[in-house]
A and B are shown apart, each in its own frame.
Chain A
Amino acid sequence: KNQVEQSPQSLIILEGKNCTLQCNYTVSPFSNLRWYKQDTGRGPVSLTIMTFSENTKSNGRYTATLDADTKQSSLHITASQLSDSASYICVGISNTGNQFYFGTGTSLTVIP
């Protein structure tokens, strides 16, 4: 069964600190893995897209890693800001079926 699991479910950090969010996926045949940021009351916005051949991809203070062997991905946020408070969603995409498999997200709260 294709699925994506994320941890932790929620996280609170101090402004300026770093954090890492985790994603385990079982999507086959695997095409690519994405991280989205979803602000409260808004639609998800893409942060990174990685294929199986890419180990790391950065978008500003966001760095995603992918280990295709262990089927794990992480999203590292550097020097967090209050505006980073949001839900971060990991999504696995299969090569077949035009379907996207969404994790339940990690709710990140950055406090002053």
Chain B
Amino acid sequence: NAGVTQTPKFQVLKTGQSMTLQCAQDMNHEYMSWYRQDPGMGLRLIHYSVGAGITDQGEVPNGYNVSRSTTEDFPLRLLSAAPSQTSVYFCASSKSGTGGYEQYFGPGTRLTVT
């Protein structure tokens, strides 16, 4: 049981480049989400999904796209990277987004945009 896995662990992009951050979970969780963590700020929700084929925007969705074609995978796409997207990105999963279910986080992807 690997839990929540994220790849890559580190990434450097040039402004304007695109890339996909991968996230996978093997716990059959319906709820998955992406957060960014910046110094001095709490984790902020980018996008979330309550099941395959269903996604919704969080607090800071601009510049990011997501899709959920399977229960296991929830990739995050940066369409045209900007320096403001330099951050640490965490993927998380839970049985449900409501109620008292545990939320499990991946190890994070540290992204630098130059």
* A→B interface (CB under 8 Å): 4, 31-32, 34, 41-46, 49, 51, 89, 93, 95-96, 98-105
- Pick out which of these stretches binds chain A: B13-21, B61-69, B74-82, B92-100: B92-100
CA distance A90 to B11 in the complex (A): 29
Which chain B residues numbered 58 to 114 have a C-beta less than 8 Å away from chain A? Answer: 58-59, 90, 92, 97-100, 102-108
Contacts of A89 in B (CB 8 A): 42-43
Q: How far is the CB of A39 from chain B (nearest CB, A)?
A: 11
30 intermolecular pairs with C-beta atoms under 8 Å apart: A4-B42, A31-B98, A31-B100, A32-B99, A32-B100, A34-B103, A42-B107, A43-B4, A43-B92, A43-B106, A43-B107, A44-B90, A44-B105, A45-B105, A49-B102, A51-B100, A89-B43, A96-B98, A98-B50, A98-B98, A99-B48, A99-B58, A99-B97, A100-B33, A100-B43, A100-B45, A100-B97, A102-B42, A103-B42, A104-B42
Contacts of A103 in B (CB 8 A): 42
CA distance A34 to B99 in the complex (A): 12
Cross-chain pair count, CB within 8 angstroms: 58
Given contact pairs A45-B105, A95-B98, a sample of 7 additional A-B residue pairs in the complex whose CB atoms are under 8 Å apart: A41-B108, A42-B108, A43-B92, A49-B102, A51-B100, A96-B98, A98-B48
Q: Which size class do B's interface residues fall under? A: 20 to 34
Does B41 make an interface contact (CB < 8 A)?
A: yes
* B→A interface (CB under 8 Å): 4, 31, 33, 35, 40-45, 48, 50, 56, 58-59, 90, 92, 97-100, 102-108
CA distance A99 to B4 in the complex (A): 19
- The contact of B31 among A31, A32, A98, A104, by CB within 8 Å, is A98
CA distance A31 to B33 in the complex (A): 18
Residue of A nearest to B97 (CB): A98
CA distance A45 to B102 in the complex (A): 9
CA distance A49 to B105 in the complex (A): 15
